[in-house]
Amino acid sequence: FLGRAVPIKDPNDNIIQWIGTCTDIDEFKQFQQQKDNFLGIASHELKTPLTSLKLYSQFLEKNLRKQDDNKNADVAMKMDEQVNKLTSLVNDLLDVTKIQNGKILLNRNEFDFDELVNEVIAEQQMSTSHRIYLENERIGNIYGDKNRISQVMTNLISNAIKYSPDSDNIQITTKLTEEDCVHFSVRDFGIGIPEDKQDRVFEQYYRVSGSKEHTFPGLGLGLYISSEIIKRSGGRIFVNSVEGKGSDFCFEIPKNYNH
């Protein structure tokens, strides 16, 4: 039960009575649980048809190119891109249910951090006209979950692209801190985030309300998932931003976190 009470005062400010409410939050918790279960089942069920759709669209594109039907091959390619977007939304929903059920486990191994940065940038660069620059210090091998860290990098870079519709440059920086942590930052020169909203962007489903000129698609989950991954990697994630000027999203993780 959740109790709430307010005092009723006389003209001399003496409390003469309390009025309270008592709410049964069991029902609310049950509802939350049902909602989370539904999200988990629905996103899981969506994965199978999406996997087939991806195979079909790739098969179609390949065959149309072979027949020199480039116009229709381009349509199939666009279908494939949309399937990728849908898959990443469904994966985000699945990740959120995993986080809520405490089932997001990191699979840690040694991997080459610099190589991963180059791979992620190359992949992002293929699907954007923004110019992604890299200023890097040699980091070498680190111990962590390569796929999950790649997911965080991809999320930060794709946000930087999405939220800078009128500016072209994205600057990535990597370096080692004095505490032997890997520092990774993505700087954009886009719409930026008002100061009072900067901490909230890491909350689940939180989105800064769009400007009049632009609407940006999204569920408000990417940064929440990223911050959970970074926390579980023993690190921290944060943002410096100026509204209208751009944002700098950074994470720092220990090079050899082993807990």
Contact 207, 220 (CB under 8 A): yes
Helix residue ranges per DSSP H, 69-202 = 70-100, 113-126, 146-162
- Name residue 185's amino acid: S
CB of 69 to ligand ADP, least distance (A): 35
> Which run of H or of E encompasses 142?
strand 141-144
> Which run of H or of E encompasses 58?
helix 25-66
CB of 239 to ligand ADP, least distance (A): 8
Rg (CA), the chain: 23
Q: Is 188 in the site for ligand ADP (CB under 6 A)?
A: yes
Judged by CB under 6 A, the chain residues 94 through 153 that form the site for ligand ADP are none
Q: Is 91 in the site for ligand ADP (CB under 6 A)?
A: no
- Residue closer to ligand ADP by CB (options 18, 205) is 205
Q: Is 170 in the site for ligand ADP (CB under 6 A)?
A: no
**Only segment of 53-61, 116-124, 136-144, 183-191 that touches ligand ADP (CB under 6 A):** 183-191
Q: Is 163 in the site for ligand ADP (CB under 6 A)?
A: yes
Contacts of 67 (CB under 8 A, 6+ apart): none
CB of 238 to ligand ADP, least distance (A): 12
User: In whole angstroms, how far apart are CA 69 and each of 59, 65, 73?
Assistant: 14, 6, 6
Contact 241, 198 (CB under 8 A): yes
Q: Which of 49, 219, 242, 245 binds ligand ADP (CB under 6 A)?
A: 219
User: In whole angstroms, how far apart are CA 9 and each of 4, 20, 241?
Assistant: 17, 14, 46
Specify the long-range contacts of residues 44-51, CB closer than 8 Å, at least 24 apart: 44/94, 46/86, 46/90, 47/87, 47/90, 47/94, 50/83, 50/86, 50/87, 50/90
**Only segment of 72-80, 96-104, 171-179, 200-208 that touches ligand ADP (CB under 6 A):** 200-208
- Residue closer to ligand ADP by CB (options 72, 240) is 240
CB of 193 to ligand ADP, least distance (A): 5
The residue nearest ligand ADP at its CB is 218
Q: Which of 64, 116, 152, 193 binds ligand ADP (CB under 6 A)?
A: 193
Q: How far apart are CA 97 and CA 77, in angstroms?
A: 31
Binding residue count for ligand ADP, defined by CB under 6 A: 21
Q: Is 54 in the site for ligand ADP (CB under 6 A)?
A: no
Positions touching ligand ADP (CB under 6 A) are 155, 159-160, 163, 188, 190-193, 201, 206-208, 218-224, 247
